[in-house]
Structure 1
Amino acid sequence: MACHLRSASTPSSPRSNNTQVEQQLQSLSSTVSSPSATIDTMCHGLRRLADIYGGIEKMICTPSSQASLCHTLQRVAVEAELGRSLVVLDLCNAMQETFMELKMTVQELLLVLKRGEETSAQVKAYVRLAKKAQKQFKKISKKTASDKNDSRMVMLMAEAREITISLLESTSSILSKQIEVPKCSLVSKTLHKSKAVCEEEQLRALERSIGDLESGVELLYRRLIQNRVSLLNALSL
């Protein structure tokens, strides 16, 4: 993939882009770690993260950054970060598979609910899938020791990777609680609807949210691939 440089007559300076990406990462980190974070928060976070990776790619493609990344000392750090990024790509693939399975389980729940049958088996299957996704994060260390000589570019990539893992981990945690936490009583009382109708509405909303998460991870995956290609191009100069 060819790098797309800015064509405007007054392009932003690399330092300005650097600062902007750093601020976006700090803001997103606070959002993801908030106790009040919801599925919608994570959907929006995935889109923001994809934009951040887009900003990092623009930085990678500037002549000054490419010259710095090709320096002998930085080259080692960049190659190490390229290796670590494979873990995130694998996570994105795994999460996409989980989202697909969760959507299918929710669809099964809707069918069982419409027939008026017992839904405990489907609920257990949903929770089991969500908690299975959580377990994979225990094998990953989000804390990465960065060399003090690493360039700010490499450190930004490391920060973006760590936030990506945290966001995906938080997403799996939130999803595991969606069916466990009862929400129908208040809604039913307020809107005078039956519990079954309320549950169906919540399940359809959950299905849509999982679809949004799936799209967000797909977009993020594409941006991660673009970053890797740009880095490899820079190292080949």
Structure 2
Amino acid sequence: MATSYHSRSNSLPSRQHPLAFQIDDNLSWLRASEAVSTSSSIGHKVNGLQDLHECVDMFLQLPLTQQALAQEQHRKCAEELLDESLMILDVCSVAKDALVQTKECTQELQSIFRRRRGDEMGHLNGVKKYLTSRNVVKKVIMKALKNLKQMETKFNTTCSNNGNENGAVISMLREVEEVTIRVLESFLSFISGSEAEPKLSRWSLVSKLIHHKRVGSEEDRKTNEIENADATLRSLIKSDNIKHIEYVQNQLQKSELCIQELEQGLESLFKRLIKARVTVLNILNC
């Protein structure tokens, strides 16, 4: 962005209020964490985003903040932020649906492996169905990511053109939305996993499946459990060998646990985003 939060902070209403410092700290931490994208880091980012929006909602309750937002010259910008927040909520809904669909397919495939022991054709059909579903999920996510990129481009252009005219509160809210967009981009990219196909020969995969308990294997060191499960299943189809499925089941279990944790964090974030949006709506309608 053309300007930073620090360059505007002295003009914020209630600048000495602890919430202003908390928002500043949360923004700084989230920006610093952008480069890392493991399951643990994604969870921490979502939690950090929850904390940020909780602070913002409390900051919006301050009389001086509400007075600033209610000023006529800021109304248009505030309404634009509301439109953008609605789009962000739509993206959150896409992410929630993607997690639900992936979890359901993961559970269904695990059930097939348990119920149809020795039925290789049934196992292969189950894996193909899972991968087909994941491809559908990825297409939806790619579309959502494209929308976020377009929103971010428009957002940055608006901020660059009007950075000195928006007023401190509006500028701060824009920075919050910018960071929110970036975290959601990271979140969606994590759910979609890598598009790269693993380059494993038939025999290297069989060896990996047989010796999956070896400590420190390449797959086990990866940190995207959803991607690991996808890659393992794609390799399984290529190898045409599914006699050793214990390793596959282990990857699916890890993926399911990861999805459950991400679901919980996203649901809490979704509620906080709605709450902050309602607060701004109430201020503008007063």
Q: Structures share a fold, TM > 0.5?
A: yes
Q: 1:227 to 1:58 in 2, by over 3 A?
A: same
Q: Deviations over 1:168-203 (max 9, x none)?
A: 2222222232796699667522399x9522221221
Tell me whether 1:213 sits opposite 2:268 in the alignment.
no
Aligned to 1:150, what secondary structure does the other structure show?
Answer: coil
2:281 counterpart letter in structure 1: L
Q: Deviations over 1:56-110 (max 9, x none)?
A: 0111110111111111112221122111111011111121111111111111221
Contact 1:21 1:56 in 2 (8 A): yes
Task: Give the corresponding residue for 1:40.
Answer: 40
Task: Give the corresponding residue for 2:190.
Answer: 174
Contact 1:131 1:172 in 2 (8 A): no
Aligned to 2:245, what secondary structure does the other structure show?
Answer: helix
Q: Cα RMSD over matched residues? A: 2.7
Task: Give the corresponding residue for 1:49.
Answer: 49
Looking at structure 1, the residues matched to 138 and 184 of structure 2 have their Cα atoms a distance apart, in angstroms, of 12
Tell me whether 1:133 sits opposite 2:144 in the alignment.
no
Which moved further from structure 2: 180-189 or 42-51?
180-189
Looking at structure 2, the residues matched to 127 and 74 of structure 1 have their Cα atoms a distance apart, in angstroms, of 43
1:86 counterpart letter in structure 2: L
The within-5 A match list for 1:108-147 is: 108-114=108-114, 115=116, 116=120, 117-118=123-124, 119-140=127-148, 141=150, 142-143=152-153, 144=155, 145-146=158-159, 147=162
Looking at structure 2, the residues matched to 155 and 69 of structure 1 have their Cα atoms a distance apart, in angstroms, of 11
Task: Give the corresponding residue for 2:225.
Answer: none
Which moved further from structure 2: 113-122 or 94-103?
113-122
**Aligned pairs, how many?**
222
Aligned to 1:188, what secondary structure does the other structure show?
Answer: coil
Q: 1:195 to 1:127 in 2, by over 3 A?
A: farther
1:189 counterpart letter in structure 2: R
Looking at structure 2, the residues matched to 132 and 233 of structure 1 have their Cα atoms a distance apart, in angstroms, of 33
Aligned to 1:189, what secondary structure does the other structure show?
Answer: coil
Looking at structure 2, the residues matched to 87 and 75 of structure 1 have their Cα atoms a distance apart, in angstroms, of 19
Q: 1:27 to 1:191 in 2, by over 3 A?
A: closer
Task: Give the corresponding residue for 1:160.
Answer: 176
2:144 counterpart letter in structure 1: Q
Contact 2:23 2:56 in 1 (8 A): yes
Contact 2:68 2:169 in 1 (8 A): no
The within-5 A match list for 1:55-74 is: 55-74=55-74
Which moved further from structure 2: 62-71 or 103-112?
103-112
Q: Deviations over 1:117-162 (max 9, x none)?
A: 2123323422441343122221332131122211232222222222
Identity level (%):
24
The structure whose Rg is larger is 2
Looking at structure 2, the residues matched to 151 and 195 of structure 1 have their Cα atoms a distance apart, in angstroms, of 62
Task: Give the corresponding residue for 2:275.
Answer: 226
Contact 1:130 1:173 in 2 (8 A): no
Gap runs ≥5 in structure 1: 1-12
Q: 1:63 to 1:102 in 2, by over 3 A?
A: same
